[in-house]
């Protein structure tokens, strides 16, 4: 044995910088997105949050957000949010998402369910999609007011249901809307989806996604590149807002998705908002800047307009 070689448990099998390293012994070392903050009452917006377990066997969980108006007004729109992070980092409890969704809950005056799906590569895609669909069905089971979660029973208006996400989460949000269109959702109506800087693949093989999604059906897999989906017209909502950033490495596929949906036989209304001079998920990194505040207002307005 070479005395200079590292033991097996320290040998890197795959290095996907800046996301994670996979070691020979199977350990995954995430290089970013691991920070978490507790739920509670946000001192700026007054939004309350709490963590819930949806499936204890798989550890599927979520963070819920309840705006100040809950209980003093009619039932509020329900937003189901899916976080980004290249399918392999971050969580619903990350400071970026906790802060962003406090702001969105207040701006849109909506109940928010932020899904904490299992991450690849330990849980390869499509597990993230399956987890999110399970969370959506769990939430929908509260539409008759007798579910296990009182915030949904008492405050969520299931006639005003929305999905949203950023980056990989936007990809999942689109896929969930497709599943609603194809399979239905307990008879509920999905009002719309908001896709922020969506990840919809690349023109060339993406080594990260190929590794995280070993059963992917090539570059034009409908989950990864929905513009090529022959069933795109079956998208299960009637309103879509696509948000892109001009300097985002993903901007071209976001624009292509917008054009494909607009030109398909889908009978709905799609709008696209482009932030000039901005990069991928800039609003999470610098929420105080003017364009980030504008993004939040546009997001909130989309939901308020119903």
Whether the upstream peptide bond of residue 18 has omega within 30° of 0, thus cis, is yes
Q: State the number of CA atoms in the 13 A half-sphere of 125 facing the CB.
A: 22
What number of other Cβ atoms are within 10 A of residue 146's Cβ? 8
Sign of CA dihedral 14, 15, 19, 22: positive
Q: Are 94 and 181 in contact (CB under 8 A)?
A: no
Rounded CA gap, 188 and 191, in Å?
9
Q: Has 143 been annotated as catalytic? A: no
Q: Are 58 and 135 in contact (CB under 8 A)?
A: no
Indicate which residue of 42, 175, 248, 283 is catalytic: 248
Rounded CA gap, 227 and 180, in Å?
18
Rounded CA gap, 21 and 27, in Å?
8
Q: Has 280 been annotated as catalytic? A: yes
What number of other Cβ atoms are within 10 A of residue 64's Cβ? 23
Q: Are 219 and 203 in contact (CB under 8 A)?
A: yes
Rounded CA gap, 40 and 50, in Å?
6
Indicate which residue of 91, 114, 143, 167 is catalytic: 167
Q: Are 63 and 116 in contact (CB under 8 A)?
A: yes
Q: Has 131 been annotated as catalytic? A: no
Q: Which ranges in 46-114 belong to alpha helices (H)?
A: 95-108
Tokens at 96, concatenated = 């970026």
Cβ-based neighbours of 7, under 8 Å, separated by 6 or more? none
Q: Are 291 and 275 in contact (CB under 8 A)?
A: yes
Q: Which residues are catalytic?
A: 167, 248, 280
């Amino acid at each position: 044995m070479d005395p200079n070689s590292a033991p097996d448990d320290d040998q890197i099998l795959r290095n996907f910088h800046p996301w994670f390293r996979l070691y020979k012994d199977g350990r995954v070392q995430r290089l970013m997105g691991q920070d978490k903050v507790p739920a509670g009452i946000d001192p700026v917006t007054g939004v309350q949050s709490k963590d819930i377990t949806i499936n204890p066997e798989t550890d599927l969980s979520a963070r819920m957000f309840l705006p100040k108006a809950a209980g003093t007004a009619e039932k509020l729109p329900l937003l189901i949010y899916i976080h980004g992070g290249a399918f392999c980092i971050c969580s619903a409890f990350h400071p970026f998402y906790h802060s962003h969704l406090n702001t969105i809950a207040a701006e849109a005056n909506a109940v928010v369910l932020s899904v904490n799906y299992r991450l690849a590569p330990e849980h390869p895609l499509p597990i993230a999609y399956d987890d999110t669909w399970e969370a959506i069905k769990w939430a929908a089971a509260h539409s008759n007011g007798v579910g296990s979660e009182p915030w949904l029973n008492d405050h969520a208006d299931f006639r005003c249901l929305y999905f949203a996400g950023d980056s990989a989460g936007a990809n999942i949000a689109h896929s969930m809307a497709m599943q609603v269109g194809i399979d239905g959702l307990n008879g509920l109506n999905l009002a719309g989806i908001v896709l922020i800087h969506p990840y919809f693949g690349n023109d060339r093989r993406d080594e990260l996604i190929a590794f995280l999604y070993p059963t992917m059906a090539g570059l034009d897999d409908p989950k990864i590149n929905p513009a090529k989906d022959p069933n795109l017209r079956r998208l299960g909502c009637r309103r879509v807002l696509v948000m892109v950033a001009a300097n985002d490495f993903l901007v071209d596929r976001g624009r292509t998705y917008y054009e494909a949906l607009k030109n398909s036989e889908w009978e709905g209304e799609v709008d696209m908002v482009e932030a000039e001079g901005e990069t991928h998920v800039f609003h999470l990194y610098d929420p105080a800047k003017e364009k980030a505040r504008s993004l939040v207002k546009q997001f909130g307005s989309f939901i308020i307009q119903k």
